[in-house]
């Protein structure tokens, strides 16, 4: 039986700080962003006017970065060249607090660099247009391979788990992997592998604890055509038996994951439908999360279910990006509820909005008490949502409502109940509580593109207007339904009760 999301969230909260050793190919991912404005006059190609360049860790370095963001103590082992790309990788590893004293230097090979060009159409909807790779895939020369093995032998004994991120760039040779697996087995440590596509798996990975091939990789490795969960189970069992693993896993993108354990367990783990923006980094995140949970002493079913959530969050981002424990806990604990949980903390809201902005989405903000939700509120919120791609509602806490002087018995509904009712509206994307006299601090934190208030306000009286407009945003005054207000409803209810009593 698949673990319940609520219990999985509790597991993530208890993961602690496991020590994880990551072995594999280090990659630097460079993203060049710009507007795809027109066709070039020189050739029938799109002209990209670049306006931003970003560099992120990829490959095994990506796995290490993700683990560090999840709270693990991470040691990364691999090889870089003696070049500017290597310097940038080491700087980023330091910034992400990843130990890299076991990353060796090979002056005879370049560091692997993948350069992606991301074009925006009409200032939004970014899409990858092209990728250029700078690399050498030759296997490590034997002297350097033995130096790496020696360095790894000293680290494996103190690690809680060993992860192998094989991108077939030359670090994960059969010689290196055989030694890593043998040393880990002697110390009773699990080795989880993200394998290459094709190749001789028995030569490279035999004896590892488990691996995470996708349906294509597993199909090529086993000769089994994987077209559904049943065939994935057959492939997972084949890998488990032929490679002497304790667990065979096949990742199935939108269909989740299949697990076959050598103790006889066979389980399918489904996933929720996601808005997929970029699958880059999803495999790295699955490997990182599996390793994190297994290193903390939990079993494969829990590790796979949590990795499903983490991988799902990753594909909702552009490029390789980290996911926090708070995001995973939030995702897991709300997975079995109807609709998406919309009441979020400020910290989580900032993380979520960063992802949405990377996807080119515009942010709309409004605020209020919304004590007794009525038709006027619904129309107002629908109009607010129409001003952009996402609507965030700042909701007064119970204490702040009382300070507004609306009456001794207000609010009628407490803040959690008001949030539940607001969250049922499709037009509302996120709800965040504020206790301050005004929502200015919240507005400054989320930096909305559009600020919405009712048409009964004068523009100069709207809190946050100057801040939003100074950053290129705008104010929108939404129409109000005449005669509809919570105060009027409460007074009418009281009048009816008084008439009935009389």
Let me know whether 138 and 200 are in one domain.
Answer: yes
**Which pair of tokens denotes residue 407?**
């009456």
- Residue 204 scores a pLDDT above 80: yes
pTM: 0.69
CA neighbor of 307 nearest in space, from 288, 331, 320:
288
**Which pair of tokens denotes residue 67?**
């683990």
Instruction: Report the CATH number that the domain containing residue 119 is assigned in CATH.
Output: 3.40.1190.20
Let me know whether 373 and 451 are in one domain.
Answer: yes
Let me know whether 269 and 245 are in one domain.
Answer: yes
Tell whether 385 is covered by a domain.
Answer: yes
Tell whether 338 is covered by a domain.
Answer: no
**Which pair of tokens denotes residue 287?**
């490997």
- Residue 203 scores a pLDDT above 80: yes
Instruction: Please state, in angstroms and rounded to a whole number, the distance separating the CA atoms of residues 22 and 100.
Output: 10
Let me know whether 292 and 147 are in one domain.
Answer: yes
Tell whether 341 is covered by a domain.
Answer: no
pLDDT digits (tens, 9 = 90+) for 134-178: 999 999 999 999 999 999 999 999 999 999 999 999 999 999 999
- Position 405 scores a pLDDT of 76
- For residue 501, give the H/E element and its range: helix 486-501
Let me know whether 460 and 496 are in one domain.
Answer: yes
Let me know whether 323 and 356 are in one domain.
Answer: no
* Residue 435 bears catalytic tag: no
pLDDT confidence tier of residue 340, bands split at 50, 70 and 90? very low
CA distances from 29 to 40, 82, 192 (A): 26, 17, 23
- Residue 395 scores a pLDDT above 90: yes
Residue 140 is part of which domain span?
A: 5-333
Let me know whether 102 and 182 are in one domain.
Answer: yes
Q: Tokens 């970065």 map to which residue?
A: 65
Going through 252-385 in order, the beta strands assigned E by DSSP cover 257-261, 266-269, 363-368
Q: Over range 93-112, report the average pLDDT.
A: 96
- Answer yes or no: are the C-beta atoms of 383 and 479 closer than 8 Å: yes
Let me know whether 366 and 304 are in one domain.
Answer: no
Q: Over range 414-439, report the average pLDDT.
A: 90
Of the listed 29, 166, 194, 284, which one is catalytic? 284
Instruction: Report the CATH number that the domain containing residue 445 is assigned in CATH.
Output: 3.40.50.620
Instruction: Please state, in angstroms and rounded to a whole number, the distance separating the CA atoms of residues 389 and 98.
Output: 36
Tell whether 388 is covered by a domain.
Answer: yes
pLDDT digits (tens, 9 = 90+) for 284-327: 989 999 999 999 999 999 999 998 888 878 766 655 677 888 88
Q: Which residues contact 107 (CB under 8 A, 6 or more apart)?
A: 81, 82
- Label residues 139-167 b or e (16+ Cβ within 10 Å = b): bbeeebbeebbeebeebbeebbbbbbbbb
Give the bridge partners for 20, in sequence order: 74, 161
- Answer yes or no: are the C-beta atoms of 168 and 137 closer than 8 Å: yes
Q: Give the count of beta carbons closer than 10 Å to the beta carbon of residue 45.
A: 10
Tell whether 339 is covered by a domain.
Answer: no
Which of 302, 333, 364 is a domain's end point?
Answer: 333
Let me know whether 324 and 354 are in one domain.
Answer: no
Let me know whether 183 and 289 are in one domain.
Answer: yes
Let me know whether 192 and 47 are in one domain.
Answer: yes
pLDDT digits (tens, 9 = 90+) for 228-249: 899 999 999 999 999 999 999 9
């Amino acid at each position: 039986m698949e673990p319940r999301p609520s219990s999985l969230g509790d597991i993530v909260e208890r993961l602690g700080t496991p020590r994880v050793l990551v072995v594999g190919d280090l990659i630097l991912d460079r993203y060049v962003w710009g507007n795809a404005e027109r066709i070039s006059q020189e050739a029938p190609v799109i002209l990209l006017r670049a306006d931003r360049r970003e560099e992120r860790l990829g490959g095994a370095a990506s796995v290490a970065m993700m683990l560090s963001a999840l709270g693990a103590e991470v040691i990364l082992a691999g090889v870089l060249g003696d070049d500017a790309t290597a310097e940038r990788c080491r700087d980023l590893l330091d910034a992400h607090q990843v130990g890299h004293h076991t990353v060796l230097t090979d002056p005879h090979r370049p560091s692997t660099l993948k350069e992606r060009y991301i074009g925006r159409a009409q200032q939004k909807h970014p899409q990858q247009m092209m990728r250029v790779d700078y690399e050498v895939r030759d296997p490590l020369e034997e002297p350097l391979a033995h130096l790496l093995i020696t360095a790894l032998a000293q680290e494996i004994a103190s690690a809680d788990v060993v992860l192998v991120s094989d991108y077939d760039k030359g670090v994960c040779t059969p010689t290196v992997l055989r030694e890593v697996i043998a040393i880990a087995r002697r110390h009773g440590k699990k080795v989880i592998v993200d394998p290459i596509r094709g190749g001789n798996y028995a030569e490279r990975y035999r004896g590892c604890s488990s691996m995470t091939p996708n349906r294509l990789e597993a199909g090529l490795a086993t000769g089994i055509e994987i077209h559904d969960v049943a065939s994935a189970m057959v492939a997972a069992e084949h890998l488990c038996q032929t490679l002497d693993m304790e667990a065979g896993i096949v990742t199935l993108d939108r269909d989740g994951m299949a697990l076959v354990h050598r103790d006889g367990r066979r389980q399918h783990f489904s996933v929720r439908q996601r808005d997929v923006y970029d699958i880059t980094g999803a495999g790295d995140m699955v490997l990182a999360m599996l390793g994190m949970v297994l290193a903390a002493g939990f079993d494969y079913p829990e590790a796979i279910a949590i990795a499903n959530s983490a991988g799902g969050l990753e594909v909702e981002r552009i490029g390789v990006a980290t996911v926090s424990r708070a995001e995973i806990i939030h995702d897991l604990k709300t997975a079995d509820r109807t609709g998406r949980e919309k009441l979020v903390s400020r910290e989580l809201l900032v993380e979520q909005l960063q992802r949405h902005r990377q996807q080119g989405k515009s942010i709309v903000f409004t605020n209020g008490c919304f004590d007794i939700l009525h038709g006027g509120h619904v129309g107002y919120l629908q109009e607010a949502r129409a001003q952009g791609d996402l609507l965030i509602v700042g909701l007064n806490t119970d204490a702040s409502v009382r300070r507004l002087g609306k009456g001794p018995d207000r609010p009628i509904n407490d803040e959690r109940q008001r949030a539940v009712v607001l969250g049922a509206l499709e037009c509302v994307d996120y709800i965040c509580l504020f206790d301050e006299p005004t929502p200015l601090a919240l507005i400054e934190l989320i930096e909305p593109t559009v600020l919405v208030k009712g048409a009964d306000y004068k523009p100069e009286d709207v809190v946050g207007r100057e801040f939003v407009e100074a950053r290129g945003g705008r104010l929108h005054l939404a129409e109000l339904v005449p005669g509809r207000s919570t105060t009027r409803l409460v007074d009418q209810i009281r009048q009816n009760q008084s008439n009935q009593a009389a």
